[in-house]
Chain A
Amino acid sequence: MRTDTHSTSRLRHDPLVRGLGWASALLGVPQVAAPAGFARALGVGGEFRHRSATTAVGVRELAAAAGLLARPHPAWLWGRVGGDLMDLTMLTRALKNHNGRGLGRTVAATAAVTAITATDVYAAVTRTRRSTPMELTAATTVIQSPDEAYTLWSDLERLPGFMAHLDEVRVTGPRTSHWRASAPFGKAVEWDAETTQEVPGQLIAWRSVDGADIDNSGEVRFVPAPGDRGTEIRVTLRYDLPGGALGKAAARYFGEEPHQQLDDDLRRFKQIAETGEVVRSEGAPSGKRARGEFPQHPARPLTEEELKEALA
């Protein structure tokens, strides 16, 4: 799992990021140059421990400024959030043990830091785009020849018949198609795809075009199986799962295990290739939704209403 972020160059021209960088610099310079005066200005007194704490905060601010202005990265924004929380802790402690002199200034400083914290959190969250590039591979062997298996797969509008998460594929041109799928938590995602490679009997590859809800690409290779056993079908799917590791864990919790799903998709493709249809049982009557149905319908015939729903 990797965390994908906005590129450095985009952050370099981001006014909010640059503003926060300059704010860090403006705060950091007096804190380092005149810590005692800065501490007094906050109304927290000028003893040694206050001065050294102020110097340390100043050094941190300068580091954040250098980072945000020179090599912008969301990590610096998150660093600022961490620093803000430290500052708030120190100010809260200062308020608790206050001797009364300059209390108003300390309260004002606390309010200011609270506002800055909110800004930093906003910047950090919005400037970090968490997504997980995932690559899934799966394979199955069918008795058909590579040409036959290729022909079956290249009829893209048939894919939703065995791929559990696909609701619809519509061919929109000689090399383009529109895809609609259900994502975790009942959301629907759509994208346009273009076929990037087509070698009959060997390979189909595609990728989503710009503007897809989830960037994705994939390929299917058709390889003769050894010993006249038909064709090995090897699928690779790549896509950016939104929500990063958290999204992935949540999806898994709700039963959407992508790798397992792809394995099951291929099993159903094999059923269609070898027997002509997806096999249904009373326990898993609606075929491709079998896995999502646990606990299943009991292994007994369906009532008429259940039957209508299952065959819909």
Chain B
Amino acid sequence: MKANCWTGRNSVEVQEVPDPSILNSRDAIVKITSTAICGSDLHLLDGYVPTMEKGDIMGHEFMGEVIEVGPGISDGKLRVGDRVVVPFPIACGACASCRAELYSCCENTNPNAGISEKLFGHPTAGIYGYSHLTGGFAGGQAEYARVVFADVNALKIESDLSDEQVLFLSDILPTGYMGADMCDIQDGDVVAVWGAGPVGQFAMDSARVLGAEKVIAIDKETYRLDMAAAQGYTTVNFEDTDVRSALLELTGGRGPDKCIDAVGLEATHGASHVHLYDRAKQAVRSETDRPHALRQAIMSCRSGGVVSVIGVYGGMIDKFPAGAWMNRSLTLRTGQCHVQKYMKPLLGLIEQGKIDPTRVITHRLPLTEAPTGYDLFKNKKDRCEKVVLKP
């Protein structure tokens, strides 16, 4: 089959690879009908996540049709022919974390748990196409994929919604939603979202669905801010304005009640000297992540507010504003999305028309043009917001 493979820093290539096979009894094989490029794929592309190996298949946002199920899947849970969306974190469904709906912290699905434990203190779940730190599972930017513990990790789509309406249930829609959910939004809340990429857009939509009075989008790409403005959100361009002052102005001097970091470790900064400082530290590996958005969110949030982090971090940061966080009673909440927890309720919201995930799609390409898709998305060419690939 054809698959989009990592071939070294800043390089992906569509290669011919063997077809997937069942390795565990509760596996299923899916013929992929739609797959997407995620912002976090760019962190892998850029080499910021360790333990990538040449030839790894990329991709953790995919859906398709079940063509084979392992012998361990009990009758009726999943059948050949089922149309499914696959959540990116692999959950076993049985461990204490899964029972507590902390699926991305599953205790059993990462065969390389010993390595992730060294980096993170405790191991995390396996993730498709997301380095060997998260298990070394083949990704979904391919014609076929193996789904692990498929009876827990495949959401059946039984209605006639299109692929594009449900594909993002695999990652970015639940991720954005969890960002808003962790904010514990109350009536009248002002929610500021750093990053108007696809996850940021869905965090904004979710904040509104959850009752936010005003939603503010912060970015520097005008086309992305335009996309947010089209939904009725207030925008702040950090290249033109000082973010903190703009936010104070927009909130009567209080600061946003809730702040969402939908940027993560490769943030850019309006002040070039600060950006250069972090970029240099990152280049010599004395800091792995550039946390501008996180710093700014903490400094901007009103006292007693919540800072919710869904942008990806991989290692260490410095200049963390611990004083602001501690003295102003801020709550910091975060996590890789527990997708399995949110898929069904979000499918409901899509069916009711309360959220339209297709609004972020700007490019549709055949799988064979995946490298072009990466280039468009990474370099923000052609007003690229979200690329969907068709095998």
Contacts and interface: CB of A to CB of B under 8 A. Distances in A.
Interface of A: 141, 143, 229-230, 260, 263-264, 267, 270-271, 274-277, 279-285, 287, 290-291, 294-304, 307, 310-311
Contacts of B146: 282, 301
B137 A281 contact: yes
Contact of B111 (A275, A280, A295, A301): A280
Contacts of A297: 136
A299 B54 CA distance: 9
Given A274-B95, A276-B72, A281-B137, A298 B114 contact: no
Contact of A280 (B5, B23, B96, B123): B23
Q: Which of B55, B56, B109, B139 has the most CB of A within 10 A?
A: B56
B136 A296 contact: yes
Contact of A307 (B21, B53, B131, B138): B21
A283 B135 contact: yes
Contacts of B5: 298, 300
B108 A299 contact: no
Q: Which of A230, A275, A284 has the most CB of B within 10 A?
A: A275
Contacts of B343: none
A302 B146 CA distance: 12
Contact of B136 (A263, A282, A304): A282
B17 A301 contact: yes
A296 B132 contact: yes
B25 interface: yes
Contacts of B138: 281-282, 299-301
A143 B94 contact: yes
Contacts of B110: 279
Interface string B56-86: 1100000000000000100000000000000
Contact of A301 (B19, B99, B129): B19
Given A281-B135, A283-B137, 6 more contacts: A275-B94, A296-B132, A298-B57, A299-B132, A300-B18, A301-B21
Given A229-B96, A284-B135, A296-B136, A279 B111 contact: yes
B282 to A, nearest CB: 24
A283 B132 contact: yes
Interface in B75-123: 92, 94-96, 99, 107-114, 123
B186 interface: no
Interface string B10-25: 0000000111110111
Contacts of A143: 94-96, 99
B388 interface: no
B109 A279 contact: yes
B126 interface: yes
A279 to B, nearest CB: 6
Given A276-B72, A303-B18, A270 B132 contact: no
Contacts of B112: 281, 283-284, 290, 296
Contacts of B126: 279, 281
A300 B135 contact: no
A287 B113 CA distance: 12
B148 interface: yes
Interface residues of B, number: 43
A291 B114 CA distance: 8
B114 A141 contact: no
A86 B260 CA distance: 74
Q: Which of B21, B111, B113, B131 has the most CB of A within 10 A?
A: B111
Given A260-B114, A283-B111, A301-B18, A277 B3 contact: no
B129 A299 contact: yes
Nearest to A271: B108
A299 B24 contact: no
Q: Which of A260, A267, A298 has the most CB of B within 10 A?
A: A298
Given A143-B94, A274-B92, A267 B54 contact: no
Given A143-B95, A270-B108, A302 B129 contact: no
8 contacts: A230-B96, A267-B113, A275-B94, A282-B138, A287-B111, A298-B56, A301-B146, A302-B18
Contacts of B148: 279, 281
B149 interface: yes
Given A270-B108, A281-B111, A275 B96 contact: no
A287 B148 CA distance: 14
A298 B25 CA distance: 21
Contacts of B23: 280-282, 285, 310-311
Contacts of A141: 96
B106 to A, nearest CB: 10
A300 B57 contact: yes
Given A229-B96, A284-B136, A295 B17 contact: no
Contacts of A276: 25-26, 72
* Closest CB pairs A-B (n = 8): A283-B136, A298-B55, A284-B111, A299-B56, A280-B23, A301-B20, A301-B18, A274-B94
A172 B308 CA distance: 58
B52 to A, nearest CB: 9
Nearest to B53: A298
B372 to A, nearest CB: 21
Nearest to B135: A281
A275 B108 CA distance: 8
Q: Which of B18, B19, B72 has the most CB of A within 10 A?
A: B18
Nearest to A299: B56
Contacts of A274: 92, 94-95, 107-108
A287 B24 CA distance: 10
Contacts of A307: 21
Contacts of B94: 143, 274-275
Contacts of A275: 26, 92, 94, 108, 149
B92 A267 contact: no
Contacts of A310: 23
Contacts of B53: 283, 295-296, 298-299
Contacts of B113: 264, 267
B327 to A, nearest CB: 33
Contact of A299 (B18, B95, B139): B139
A304 B20 CA distance: 10
Nearest to B149: A275
B139 to A, nearest CB: 7
B55 A300 contact: yes
